[in-house]
Amino acid sequence: MWHLAVPKSSERGVIMSTARCVWRTMLLLGLFTGLYAPITNNLSAQMLGLSEATIEDINAAFNSGTLTSERLVELYLARIQAYDQDGPRLNAVLWLNDQALETARILDEERRLSGPRSPLHGIPVALKDNIDTADMPTTAGSLLLAGSLPPDDAFIVERLRNAGAIVLAKLNMSELASGVTMSSVGGFIRNPHDTERSPAGSSGGTGAAIAAAFAQLGIGTDTGGSVRGPTTANGIAGLKPTHGLLSRDGIVPLALSFDMAGPMARHVYDVAAMLGVMTGIDPEDAATSKSADRFETNYTQFLDVSALGDARIGVARDVLGQDTEVDWILEASLEAMRAEGATVVDVYFPQWLLDIKGDWYTTIRWREFRAQIPEYLATIGPEYPKTLKEMVERSMEITSLTPEGGTPNPTRWSLLRQEEESGTLDDHEYIAMKNYGLPMVQSIVAGLMDAQNLDAIVYPTSPTRPSLVNGGGGGVSATNIANLTGFPDLIVPGGFTSDQLPVGISFLGRPFSEPRLFGLGYAFEQATKVRRDPKMTPPLLGEEIRR
């Protein structure tokens, strides 16, 4: 069924006025218009490169008879062979679904006889390897779970398959969704824009695979930025949804107070299309009850090229000043929003929140991982560890005897020991942070937005360009504020640095404001159009889509 495969306040006025000149220059140079994008952008209106085609474009090709799902799967498999298994060897794919082509043929016939189930009918999707699939292993990238076949699909995977999506592959990741962007199952993952750079984590395989066009859609998970980091580092679009909008059933947990699955794609349209398929109340995940009467099944209806016209945007300047070029791309992006009619104002998070957010996040995450991972381990075979303590003991055995094809990951396994010793959910510190601290952070961030009547707060998703492979972190970001609050965060490509590395722009919103965020993000994407194909994974011959 599967096989391996921040400036000073006195300087801000100067920066803002200069940014207008920078933005106009970028516009003239084609950095926002796509002048320097791959040659596929210059095809006729009826022809699109595979990476340029949205789900809407692909469905138009399906409907016209110029494309089948079987052919689409073949195109993506060819790219995986060319760029993951050969060529730059991105190392993004762990497992391929041997039944993908047969499933595509069945779905093509179903389309012919009775029509499509949904806009995702026959569309290939790739999943982070901590999301359960009954027909492929789910290891969370860890040799501690090597070969584990879950008893059933995760809730969101079941929803995708019921909509007609094809699960094409399982993707490499930071082991157990934490640490450097490598796993003991699959090794290091590389960024398709520059293979000396990291694709970020922990959904690095999803970010790299979607940027390199190994599938139309991808799913990652986000506990402290793990959808958003890889989204910006690989130059694609993605969403960390409101906590409770999507079920976590069948996903290897890291910390359920923060964990969320999130859609990732090359286009905002596709992110919106995918999200609506996966929403719904799941009795196995009580958090989804928060979304009752608040979730949508079709988020593409909110995509609006004029959405910025009446928008009030706050810009979080607290995290600037760590990479000059990233700062300039943010300023140019803000000027683009103003050009579309948006009102942009500065906002600042309380300094104490910036000071403590990392410690609060770690305290809650470590204790919850220790308490919650056994619940997942109980669902898989008896040959696997059943507690975090057993995982630590097994990791010590594996360190001295690594199975063929594995890569020891002593950094992550050492962190396991720290997590195992971190404390319990009965600790007064944890209880105070969980029951009082998190609601206070939610109230403060919502209050910042209410005070200036903001539709969203924007910031550079990562304050620095992608780090070198195994090069450590990428600066102090605001991403985990979205996790501490549970608020949604939509990422849209914002531009490229002088060394051709992508920079993403985050749109942080209120709870369940995904419809508004999609409107804003889509308007920004269509006004700027900065996404480009990675230089290491160019189009292959014959992979154009005819609408």
Q: Which residues are catalytic?
A: 128, 202, 226
Q: Do the Cβ atoms of 18 and 24 come closer than 8 Å? A: no
Which helix (DSSP H) or strand (DSSP E) does residue 355 occupy? helix 351-377
Q: Do the Cβ atoms of 152 and 250 come closer than 8 Å? A: yes
Q: Do the Cβ atoms of 127 and 145 come closer than 8 Å? A: no
Q: Which amino acid is at 308?
A: L
Query: How many CB atoms lie under 10 A from the CB of residue 540?
Result: 16
Sign of CA pseudo-dihedral 262, 267, 272, 277: negative
Q: Which amino acid is at 496?
A: F
For residue 168, report the phi and psi dihedrals to the nearest 5 degrees.
Answer: -90, -35
- Torsion, CA 169, CA 170, CA 173, CA 176, rounded to 10: 170
Beta bridge partners of 312: 343
Q: Tokens representing 257? A: 């107070």
Q: Tokens representing 212? A: 């390199």
DSSP state of 140: T
The reply to whether omega before 44 is within 30° of 0 (cis) is no
- Distance between CA atoms of 291 and 53, rounded to whole angstroms? 31
- Torsion, CA 53, CA 58, CA 64, CA 69, rounded to 10: 130
For residue 30, report the phi and psi dihedrals to the nearest 5 degrees.
Answer: 90, 5
Query: Diameter of the chain by CA atoms?
Result: 67
- Distance between CA atoms of 51 and 210, rounded to whole angstroms? 9
- Distance between CA atoms of 171 and 130, rounded to whole angstroms? 9
Q: Tokens representing 66? A: 């110029």
